[in-house]
Structure 1
Amino acid sequence: MQNKFKNKYRIPSARLQTWDYSNNGAYFITICTQNREHFFGNIQNGIMQLSEIGKLAEQYWFEIPNHFPFIELGNFVIMPNHVHGILIINKIDNPTLSSTESVETRHCLVSTINLNTTIGSSRFQNQGKNTISSIVGSYKSIVTKMSRQIHPDFAWQSRFHDHIIRNSKSFDIIQNYIFENPLNWKDDKFYK
């Protein structure tokens, strides 16, 4: 039986429930536009031609380390209706950061944190400002705000997909996949 929140069925979290998403590591992120609408431009001869909204999505992705100094960026690509990128959390060089710092995110539901629960056991628990969810949420928020000045119907899919990259071989395969994604657009599962 599915849980309900405000009398609506809720979909279980796609995040790995036993993983702390503020941990150092590399994360492969995919974010789709709502209904997979082609807001970001189009692909011609295997090369992505960015629309004005696509240019905003690109600009704000590359600004992520300015706002989250513990983030390094791996490969990134904008496709007509989604983005792929690698975010690398590296807090080793900044020991003053803590995953328990106060929460300052705007788009997360907040509940009391119960320290006796399993990591990620509550989908609606705010995971903190130094997590993959808060970083992606901040990125989606600024792109939405600025994009709606160009196209008022712009929206993201409500969730995003992540994959924890566990070794260098997997990292290299994903980096290559991202780099070659425009060349393989017609075979992409997001192609309409």
Structure 2
Amino acid sequence: MKYNRDIHHRRSIRLQGYDYSQPGAYFITLCIDKRECLLGDIQEQTVILSRYGEVVDFNWFNLTKIYPSIQLDSFVIMPNHIHGIIILTDYSHNLSEIIRGLKTFSARRINQLRSLSGISIWQRGYYEHIIRNETTLTKIQEYILNNPYNWQKDEMHPSQKFPISQKFNIKLNDNSTLPMNLSSQL
């Protein structure tokens, strides 16, 4: 069923009143539509990218050319989602604009490779967490780097049957949310 604003009342997980264009570090997660393992595979705890995963990899690192006021930190492409840290160095761009660019550029190219047009690649929206201190930054960097090692137990693994929406309700002491699997490590 397609999204209908009158029927589906989507609740934003964004921090109310927060300016997402202000300088800072942001942990982001983007998921492939329907959790399809489109971006690659994990073999012996190593990510093996598909050609679609290579497109996402290229577009991630190309973000600094399109948005020169950002820096990229830790990043991993998993079979059906990506995790990364984006650092905004000034007020030039809003985080959602940067994410929209990444999703648009990569989806357009993936659909070209698939000889398809207008097919959703990414789930609507994205997950983000405002990184407020060095301790949290270090823990999130470790989480990102260790993600391939934990793939079989990952909530995004195809063997996990519960809805993704259930994982976005953990409150932290800084009034933001993290997925269950990350919040247990912070």
**Range of TM-score over shorter length:** 0.7 to 0.9
1:116 maps to what in 2? none
1:14 is displaced (CA, Å) by: 1.7
1:157 maps to what in 2? 123
C-alpha separation in 2, matches of 1:40 and 1:20: 31
2:84 maps to what in 1? 85
1:154 is displaced (CA, Å) by: 5.3
C-alpha separation in 2, matches of 1:16 and 1:29: 14
Q: Write out aligned runs for 1:62-141 (5 A).
A: 62-91=61-90, 98=91, 130-141=93-104
The AA in structure 1 aligned to 2:99 is: V
1:181 maps to what in 2? 147
The higher radius of gyration belongs to 1
Aligned residue among 105, 109, 112 for 1:146: 109
Structure 2 unaligned blocks of 5 or more: 159-186
Give the TM-score, by structure 2 length: 0.78
| Runs of 4+ residues deviating >4 angstroms | none
| Cα RMSD, aligned residues only | 1.4
More helix by percentage: 2
1:168 is aligned to 2:134: yes
Say which SS state the counterpart of residue 155 (structure 1) adopts.
coil
CA change 1:39–1:23 in 2 (3 A) is same
1:135 is displaced (CA, Å) by: 0.4
C-alpha separation in 2, matches of 1:31 and 1:22: 19
Aligned residue among 156, 175, 182 for 1:190: 156
C-alpha separation in 1, matches of 2:39 and 2:56: 8
1:178 is displaced (CA, Å) by: 0.5
1:176 is displaced (CA, Å) by: 0.8
Say which SS state the counterpart of residue 135 (structure 2) adopts.
helix
Once the two structures are superposed, residues 106-136 of structure 1 have per-residue CA deviations (whole angstroms, 9 ceiling, x without a partner) of xxxxxxxxxxxxxxxxxxxxxxxx1110100
1:13 is displaced (CA, Å) by: 1.6
1:19 is aligned to 2:18: yes
1:150 is displaced (CA, Å) by: 1.9
C-alpha separation in 2, matches of 1:133 and 1:17: 15
Structure 1 unaligned blocks of 5 or more: 92-97, 100-129
